[in-house]
Structure 1
């Protein structure tokens, strides 16, 4: 098991009040990080996650609220984290809306929301985290993508989500190159079906969806000090799923 030391590192996971984000944050808490639980509307769930993080060994923890598609709200939530825990060392861009609706039947607000929560939020949070990372010559950014979205696979029912996640992966590679001399790595983890997903009709190669632990191990690999030369990469946490299965 990959087990990086995160003692004293401030870790912010967007959308960490529930689901994959919750588990990614708790994995960092178990390794002694200072953890910032982010939520937009799930305040009670976020408080529960912060309490659990403290039980698991987080050096310190805080709860921050904000719409990560809004530049001013992003500034506010980072300022709150910095006031409570210090500058963000590790940013996990986990927020990203999904709507299983055929593109032609999707209203514009839903379409726009998918791009805003996936692409714009990743851009805004990364941009806000980078100055202090550059100053310290240390930083880790992990973006959450989607398996095979970079291969041009587009199911009409999920087209905007695939398109948005392809944008996230392109941004990951660009940002990795742009920060290569700054002691910062930027990578992505891309699941297909995770254990909390709605049921899918397809047969999965491994006979099960990805467990939360599969996702956390991929994240921890990128956070390990021995991975500091690896940047601009994407781990597909899909159990061998092939695009032809769609």
Structure 2
């Protein structure tokens, strides 16, 4: 059994400077075939083409709205016929919101939970049975330091609550799927230089944020992608239900 005969799904990996795309590249370099599911079908296909060319693996990009069960169903149906069985799932698709709690609308609250929590449910619920049946699976959730320290970086209460929900999801699912050879872990990045944080990482604001990070810099997407790829290895079968912090020491607990 080797990862070269399995597919890793990475959701929300269309963005050129995001953690998702970096993770897809790093998984491909480790021999995984890749399926990129993104709301923006064009960027999903672009990422898949780039990965196939650079790493010589099978890569497919599919437009998918993770919040919509029918969209997830059709994306995975397209995948079923065209790629090896799914061995890993990286629940990376997410949206943030800095809105203060006293101003957040019910609609915005629901939208944050729809993408971060319900979206992860929709796709995990669909791929987990196959993993359990085949006796091998690696599921990784992209949570956030906001879930652990209670916001305060970019995310407000809605975001922190949704990312904390992912941690409970991770732990309970790890218990349930462990006997089937499926591990479930979470990664909680701190300040990572991506398109989401890009604008905020300038000038004084950047100096202020970096001043609170013991290693003296903001994180890079590779810092997170390498860890996710490690958690997806066949050899990493005795780590499950864990949350890994990737924050340069800005939050130590």
How does the TM-score come out when normalised to structure 1? 0.90
Unaligned runs of 5+ in 2: none
Following superposition of structure 1 onto structure 2, how do residues 181-196 of structure 1 map, counting pairs within 5 Å?
181-196=179-194
| Equivalent position of 1:30 in the other structure | 29
> Which segment drifts farther, 29-38 or 178-187?
29-38
Cα distance, 1:122 vs structure 2: 1.2
Question: How big is the shift at 1:157?
Answer: 6.4
User: What is the aligned length?
Assistant: 238
Partner of 1:140: 138
Check if 1:103 corresponds to 2:112: no
2:223 aligned partner: 214
Residues 9-34 of structure 1: CA deviation (Å, up to 9, x unaligned): 20110001011111111111112221
Shift of 1:98: 0.4
Cα distance change, pair 170–58 in 1 and its aligned pair in 2 (3 A): farther
* CA-CA distance at 1:160 after TM superposition: 0.7
Do the aligned partners of 2:5 and 2:85 also contact (CA within 8 Å) in 1? no
* Mapped contact 2:33–2:57 kept (Cα < 8 A): yes
Are 2:44 and 2:63, in contact at CA under 8 Å, matched by a contact in 1? no
Q: Distance in 2 between matches of 1:157 and 1:192?
A: 11
Match of 1:171 among 169, 173, 176: 169
Question: Is residue 91–residue 140 contact of structure 2 (8 Å, CA) maintained in 1?
Answer: yes
The answer to whether structure 1 residue 14 and structure 2 residue 23 are counterparts is no
Q: Render the CA deviation track for 1:193-221: whole Å, top value 9, x for unaligned.
A: 11112425323332221111100111022
Whether the 8 Å contact between 1:8 and 1:59 is mirrored in structure 2 is no
Query: What is the match of residue 90 of structure 2?
Result: 92
Q: CA RMSD in A?
A: 1.9
Distance 1:86 1:7, change over 3 A: closer
Q: What is the SS of the residue equivalent to 1:225? A: coil
User: Given the alignment of the two structures, is residue 76 of structure 1 paired with residue 85 of structure 2, yes or no?
Assistant: no
Indicate conservation of the 8 Å contact 2:35/2:59, yes or no: yes
Separation in 2 of the partners of 1:138 and 1:110?
37
